[in-house]
Amino acid sequence: MSARPIVAITMGDPAGVGPEITARALAREEVWNCCRPLVVGDAGVLKQAIAVVAVPLVPHPIDDATDAHFDPAAPDVLDLHNVNPAELQPGAVSAAAGRAAVDYIEQAAELAQAGMVDGIATGPINKAALKEAGVPYIGHTELLAALTGEERVTTMLATPGLRAVHVTRHVPLGEVAAYITRERVLETIRLTDAGLKDMGIPHPRVAVAALNPHGGDEGLIGREEIEAIGPAVEAAQAVGIDAHGPIPADSVFFRAIQGEFDVVVAMYHDQGHIPIKTHGFERSVTVTLGLSIVRTSVDHGTAFDIAWQGVAHEESMVEAIRLAAQMATHTHF
């Protein structure tokens, strides 16, 4: 591999666990082995987080990304100076913290679009804090889609041994069936195939889950498999995608874990989230597929209940950084 990619790491909501898991991740050798990390955040907050988790690091504040020196003992922080550490209230929703978190994302996205970093790994943000700050987006995916001008994006969850992509995400369960159309399923399969190729998997094997019990039982328990999911799989196969399904959801994830498939396309939020988090909660990450930039993220929230207590685990952040580096170099680690 050529020079290690530069991965921008956003600290997330400074009142949450983001600064702590960032500090812990920066102390991990495998992070530096796979990339050159550049923290986008507030140097004063990161300094406090380093003290809380007691890792032997001294942050190196910079005002321009080109000044980064990538020293493992003194990680670079593109310092936006947008948080007063003395006024920060750990574990509390605040407009100031929500706005700061968005500033980090916007700056990282700008660096990625300019080619100054090769990918971004994002810390957790808080929906309530975004609302308090007047931010018109519910989370990272919607904000990044707006920043990059992309209309068709989706989320992949990944943990060692299992990946899942969702046709629908934040849709009430009673409304999901209306969203399962041939076009939506096919679009998700296409995004999934392209995303796994970016991860260094040249010929992804894509399993597509059924929506209904027993795969609809030939229309006896629902017709979405016949009218939408099956035709989408056939259309994907027609353009060379190695897609399979619809496969009953109660068996498809087991088959993927056994190595038969590289990814499962799930029809709704919990259909994909429950298997991923059961199989490997602490190491699960998310990836936004369909963006013009590489973006991965921890697969957990701000955890205000344990924030700034020095107990948050960094495994998901480490995995998010590793995956961003992998996608940036099209290398399957």
**DSSP characters over 295-315:** EEEESS---TTTTTTT----H
What's the pLDDT at 35?
97
Q: Which two tokens stand for residue 227?
A: 């009218």
What's the pLDDT at 333?
44
Nearest to 313 by CA among 322, 300, 296: 300
CB proximity list for 189: less than 8 A, separation 6 or greater: 206, 208, 232, 233, 236, 241, 243, 265
What's the pLDDT at 117?
97
Distance in angstroms (rounded) separating the CA atoms of residues 317 and 282: 9
What's the pLDDT at 249?
97
Distance in angstroms (rounded) separating the CA atoms of residues 84 and 4: 33
What's the pLDDT at 1?
40
Distance in angstroms (rounded) separating the CA atoms of residues 236 and 320: 29
Strand, coil or helix: 30:
helix
Q: Which two tokens stand for residue 197?
A: 């190729």
pLDDT tens digits along 34-62: 999 999 999 999 999 999 999 999 999 99
Distance in angstroms (rounded) separating the CA atoms of residues 231 and 84: 55
Low-confidence ranges of the chain (pLDDT < 70): 1-2, 331-333
pLDDT tens digits along 71-118: 999 999 999 999 988 889 999 999 999 999 999 999 999 999 999 999
Q: Which two tokens stand for residue 231?
A: 């035709």
Distance in angstroms (rounded) separating the CA atoms of residues 133 and 259: 44
Residue 238 and residue 296 in contact, taking contact as beta carbons nearer than 8 Å:
no
Which phi and psi angles does 245 have, rounded to 5°?
Answer: 140, -175
What's the pLDDT at 211?
97
